[in-house]
């Protein structure tokens, strides 16, 4: 019986967090309310309060749940690929697909909540900043692994790697922002073309990279 209660509690937590992730990606983390979530989902308010305790606890749990989804959607599909700029490109494909398919209705979850909490100190700000920093460092790490594997046409150093990571991230996030604001999927293709051009100019093995984006990022299928 105790195990059954624990599993019901875990299921309720998953249900609540799926809802809060969707809401926060559109309305922000400040748009979350324990009482409203309980009403929306037809759950006991006391049960939801027992799981999260406070609005801040709910916000932090939502951010951490979104991180798990992000890793599953973006990082896991390329984790076992061999080091090189082709792996970096496939990571970018995963990210553009994650945003374009609207895994979260508001586009990239972390782009949305970063703008909300970038100048607001506190635990939620720190959690979001840590996750954003981890993502940037992951891209830099893959680029550095490509460098050590001889993947660059010319000799580069850590400063070059950081600059390239910045440019790649900027193009992906601009595609996300414009697509969400204007509802135009073409922004993903433009970002993909820019990233590919940058990587093909840098790589020692251009044949390992496509000449043009091969997928429809809003559907995750090959382009016509």
pLDDT band at 224 (very low <50, low <70, confident <90, very high): very low
Identify the residue whose tokens are 């309720």: 12
Residue 77 scores a pLDDT above 60: yes
DSSP SS3 for 221 = strand
What is the structure's pLDDT at 183?
Answer: 92
Report the range of poorest mean pLDDT among 5-9, 46-50, 154-158. 5-9
Q: How many residues does the chain have?
A: 224
- pLDDT digit string (tens) for 109-166? 999 999 999 999 999 999 999 999 999 999 999 999 999 999 999 998 988 999 999 9
Return d(Cα 129, Cα 124) in angstroms, integer.
Answer: 8
d(Cα 127, Cα 23) in Å, to the nearest integer?
A: 18
CB-based contacts of 128: which residues, under 8 Å, 6+ apart?
63, 110, 113, 114, 117
Output the pTM of the full model.
0.91
> For the chain, what is the mean pLDDT?
92
Cα–Cα distance for residue pair 125/109, rounded to 1 Å: 14
Average pLDDT over residues 5-27: 88
Residues whose CB is less than 8 angstroms from the CB of residue 217 and which lie 6 or more positions away in sequence, other chains included: 93, 96, 97, 99, 100, 101, 185, 188, 189, 192
Mean pLDDT within 7-18: 86
Crossing angle, helix 109-117 and helix 158-182, to 10 degrees? Answer: 100
Q: Which two tokens stand for residue 42?
A: 């037809």
Tell me the CATH number for domain 64-219: 1.10.357.10
Contact between residue 56 and residue 124 where contact means Cβ atoms under 8 Å apart: yes
């Amino acid at each position: 019986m105790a195990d059954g209660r624990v599993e019901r509690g875990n299921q309720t937590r998953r249900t609540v967090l799926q809802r809060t992730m969707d809401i926060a990606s559109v309305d922000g983390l400040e748009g979350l309310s324990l009482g409203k979530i309980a009403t929306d989902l037809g759950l006991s308010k006391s049960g939801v309060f027992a799981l999260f305790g406070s609005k801040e606890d709910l916000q932090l749990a939502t951010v951490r749940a979104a991180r798990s989804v992000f890793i599953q959607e973006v990082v896991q599909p390329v984790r076992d690929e061999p080091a090189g700029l082709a792996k970096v490109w496939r990571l970018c494909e995963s990210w553009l697909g994650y945003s374009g398919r609207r895994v979260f209705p508001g586009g990239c979850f972390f782009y949305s909540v970063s703008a909300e909490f970038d100048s607001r100190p506190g635990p939620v700000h720190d959690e979001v900043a840590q996750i954003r920093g981890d993502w940037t460092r992951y891209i830099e790490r893959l680029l550095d692994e490509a460098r050590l594997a001889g993947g660059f046409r010319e000799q580069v150093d850590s400063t070059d790697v950081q600059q390239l990571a910045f440019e790649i991230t900027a193009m992906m996030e601009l595609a996300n922002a414009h697509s969400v604001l204007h509802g135009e999927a073409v922004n993903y293709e433009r970002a993909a073309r820019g990233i590919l051009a940058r990587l093909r100019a840098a790589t020692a093995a251009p044949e390992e990279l496509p000449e043009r984006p091969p997928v429809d990022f809003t559907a995750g299928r090959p382009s016509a």
